[in-house]
Amino acid sequence: MEELEHTCPLPRTTLIEPAIFTPETSCECRAPHEKLTVEQARLGTPVDRPVRIYADGIFDLFHSGHARALMQAKNLFPNAYLIVGVCSDELTHKFKGFTVMTEEERYDALRHCRYVDEVLRDAPWTLTQEFLEKHKIDFVAHDDIPYSSAGSEDVYKHIKEAGMFVPTKRTEGISTSDLITRIVRDYDVYARRNLQRGYTAKELNVSYINEKKYRLQNQVDRMKEKVRTVEEKSKHFVYRVEEKSHDLIQKWEEKSREFIGNFLELFGPDGTWKQMFQERSGRMIQALSPRGSPSSSPTREFSPSRSPSPPSRWAMPRTSPPSSPKGASASISSMSEGDEDEK
């Protein structure tokens, strides 16, 4: 039975699935694997296969610094296939120290990084020529700071001398050691945090006395938070009252100015009330003063030195005109009789 030819795995084009694990056997690539230089790889050659780049590490507490380093490795060449080697717990505890995450957790974290095409489990601590040929690795990517370990001043020295090393840059301010330092430095804070979230003192490896102390501190913090909340609400209330008072005072000033202006307009020296009073006074004086004689009747002038003479007793009283001839003759006879008596 004729053996089927296998081509090199291609870089991932979709992100709907995690990266694959490297098979236990050698690389399935059957294409010719000539040695490449960095210049050739940057030009996009060879055309029949991707450039295979290998990056290894512990990747404990996988963080953005790890992801940035892998992103740089993935983008070193136009057509790159990134293989990431993750060391086991046994090797890591032996040469570097205890890890927070288990090896299975670290493997799985790398599989879900978007820049990784393949994850190699239980990676060797030192890279041998046999390992590089087995996995058909073209270049090894790592930061160029000498990495002293396992009795060597730089475990990547022979890779650099062979021209297979491509450097990446570290991200300042973030590393697994920095994260652990933060946790150790603020141990009490995180212990209290987890106790408050339901973890037991046994799970946190906390003594009975420290547990009571942490719980008391949590209660004190809750009381402080309540007091702080009340203070904030009180400050907000006072601010609202001051704001309302300022508005009220401003409105009162505006209304008072308007009231004073209206008062002066009504009762001032030239105010409306004075004009109304003068008009009404003039009307009252005009109403109380006597009316003049009609223009058709003659007016009688009196001398200022003489006063009008009193009426004479001989003045004839005004009588109404007789209504009939008989009445007229009767009045004449009565007047004649009166003259005779005076005589």
pLDDT at 47: 76
| Residue 157 and residue 242 share a domain | no
Q: Which residues contact 9 (CB under 8 A, 6 or more apart)?
A: 20, 28, 29, 81, 117, 118
181 lies in the same domain as 164:
no
What pLDDT shows up at residue 315? 47
Reported as a single tens digit per residue, the pLDDT across 33-58 is 778 888 888 888 777 889 999 999 99
Statement: residue 338 has pLDDT above 90: no
Residue 7 has pLDDT above 70, yes or no: no
104 & 31 share domain: yes
Task: State the Cα–Cα distance between residues 146 and 154, nearest whole angstrom.
Answer: 5
The boundaries of the domain holding residue 114 are 20-168
Alpha-carbon distance of 48 to 81, in angstroms, equals 13
Residue 176 has pLDDT above 50, yes or no: yes
Domain end residue (candidates: 217, 240, 272): 272
Assigned domain for 59 exists: yes
The answer on 245 and 204 residing in a single domain is yes
- Among 58, 69, 88, 74, smallest CA distance to 139 is for 74
- Residue at 15 is within a domain: no
- Position 56 in a domain: yes
162 and 50: one domain?
Answer: yes
Please confirm whether the linkage preceding 325 is cis (ω < 30° from 0): no
pLDDT at 28 over 80: no
pLDDT tens, residue by residue, 275-327:
777 777 777 777 777 665 555 545 444 444 444 555 544 444 554 554 444 45
Query: 181 and 82: one domain?
Result: no
Q: What integer is the mean pLDDT of 210-235?
A: 85
- Asked whether residue 125 is assigned to any structural domain, the reply reads yes
Q: What is the mean pLDDT of the chain?
A: 80
Residue 146, in any domain of the structure: yes
Q: Are residues 148 and 199 in the same domain?
A: no
Same domain flag for 196 and 131:
no
When pLDDT is averaged across residues 57-71 and rounded to a whole number, the result is 96
Question: Mean pLDDT across the stretch 198-209?
Answer: 89
Number of domains in the chain: 2
